[in-house]
Amino acid sequence: MFRRVLIANRGEIALRVARACRELGVEVVAVHSTEDRDSAVVRAADQAVQIGPAPARRSYLNIPAVVEAALRTGAEAIHPGYGFLSEDPDFAEVCHDNGLVLVGPPADVMARLGDKNVARRLMAGAGLPMLPGSLEPLRSVDEAHRIADEVGYPVIVKAAGGGGGRGMRVVHDEASLLDAMALTREEARRAFGNPEVYIEKFLLHPRHVEIQVLADSHGHALWLGSRDCSLQRRHQKVIEEAPAPGIDEALIAEVGERCAAACRQIGYCGVGTFEFLYERGAFYFIEMNTRLQVEHPVTEMTTGIDIVQQQLRMARGERLALAQADVRCQGHAIECRINAENPDTFAPSPGRITGWQVPGGFGVRVDSHANAGYRVPPYYDSMIAKLIVQGSTRADALDRMRLALAEMHVEGISTNVPLHREILCDEGFAAGGVDIHHLERWLQQRGTA
């Protein structure tokens, strides 16, 4: 195992990785901005290095500063967490060139899977089910019209290098296609430095279902069950659960085996997540995330596998100690993302937390870097905690989450805890299997979309 690992992140995920390192006997180096000098992960680390001022572009996204901190402290590896530099192939290349192990796939694999067109071609070749559309970047308006006519409207125009809900537009008729392509290309050029776009069939009522995979550098790969992340607002996940409710287990197993086989075929190494749209009994691949997901705890709770520790072991070159037959998913887990934001307007709510009461008890987990006295900064993502529960059944997990949310109280700032309490009482969500548009429809009825 590594002797020392630098964590190139902040907040709850940095603390989560630090704990996994400590359990493996690995020393922790924390990097931090001036804003985070007194953070929980800095206090928990063996060493801490300030790498820049508060804005992320001058600290957590500052590749030379991160790499220099790793070299100066004698770190052997860098764990990027999620967000920030976690899917940046240039960062992976710089780490490699400096003799540092990045906890993630190789730079070339990361780059190929980060380009949605390339990823879709790779996964189609590996036998994963695809949405009808273009597997190559669109070369002309005529080609776009032809493909849209073939698959049928509505279609969605997507940026090849997009992500996070950006760089996509739904087109309902031929007259709107040209403007949608021009706008998406310009947005993609500005946001991702890549103006290429492609077209897919737009599903009207899909669910967002994920398959978590682990793959080592010795050709072994396995999958860890499914997750449903359909409860979203503006393409941002709000609540996640595992397993995905109401989907035939044999179908999920078939897709999971294809995902593991795809990892072996493309030489993938590390933790990864295959994202699918699911509608009317069919899966359609949309992208693969080459990093740890925010929602990984629901998979940990149902499988009993520490995904972060597995990441570290695979990055070190160890063989997977698990076989697919060893993976057993038990019960049901639900995660609520707790954000510092107004529950009605969704405006960020930075400031000092004056009261902090989190729930506990059997089957309850809280991943957070916050506490009473912590100042939520305005510079970063607004998530301050992840509340995760597990029950023997989905109904048990829902009841446990309702109780946990009732026990959770944060004072001094606004949070979306009241919103989560309302969502857990929604009959549609309680029934299971809602589509990705359910929450926005519910919010419109509530008057807070």
Q: Give pLDDT tens digits for 43-67.
A: 999 999 999 999 999 999 999 999 9
Domain 207-446's class? Answer: alpha beta
Is the sign of the CA dihedral 347, 239, 294, 301 positive or negative? positive
> Rounded to 5 degrees, what are φ and ψ at 345?
-105, -15
- The whole-angstrom separation of Cα 223 and Cα 99 is 30
Do the beta carbons of residue 49 and residue 32 sit within 8 Å?
A: yes
| Secondary structure element (H or E) that encloses residue 199, with its range | strand 197-201
For 357, counting Cβ atoms within 10 Å of its Cβ (0-12 exposed, 13-18 middle, 19+ buried), the class is exposed
SS3 assignment, position 66: helix
- The whole-angstrom separation of Cα 401 and Cα 399 is 5
- Mean pLDDT over 390-416 rounds to 98
- The whole-angstrom separation of Cα 253 and Cα 256 is 5
- Mean pLDDT over 308-324 rounds to 97
- What's the whole-model pTM score? 0.94
Q: How far apart are the first and last CA of the chain?
A: 48
Residue 170: both structure tokens together: 């739904």
| Secondary structure element (H or E) that encloses residue 369, with its range | none
The CATH classification of domain 4-102, taken from the options 3.30.70.20, 3.40.50.720, 3.40.50.20, 3.40.50.620: 3.40.50.20
What does the mean pLDDT of the chain come to? 96
Do the beta carbons of residue 105 and residue 33 sit within 8 Å?
A: no
Residue 8 has pLDDT above 70, yes or no: yes
- The whole-angstrom separation of Cα 235 and Cα 321 is 36
| pLDDT given for residue 165 in this prediction | 67
* pLDDT band for position 167 (cuts 50, 70, 90): confident
Cis peptide before 154 (omega within 30 of 0): yes
Fold of domain 132-201: Dna Ligase; domain 1 (3.30.1490)
| pLDDT given for residue 417 in this prediction | 98
Do the beta carbons of residue 1 and residue 331 sit within 8 Å?
A: no
SS3 assignment, position 209: strand
Residue 163 has pLDDT above 80, yes or no: no
134: DSSP letter: -
Domain boundaries defined on the chain: 4-102, 132-201, 207-446
- Mean pLDDT over 362-373 rounds to 98
Do the beta carbons of residue 420 and residue 331 sit within 8 Å?
A: no
Length of the chain: 449
The model's pLDDT over 271-313, given as tens digits with 9 standing for 90+, comes to: 999 999 999 999 999 999 999 999 999 999 999 999 999 999 9
CA 92 to chain centre: 18
The residues annotated as belonging to the active site are: 291
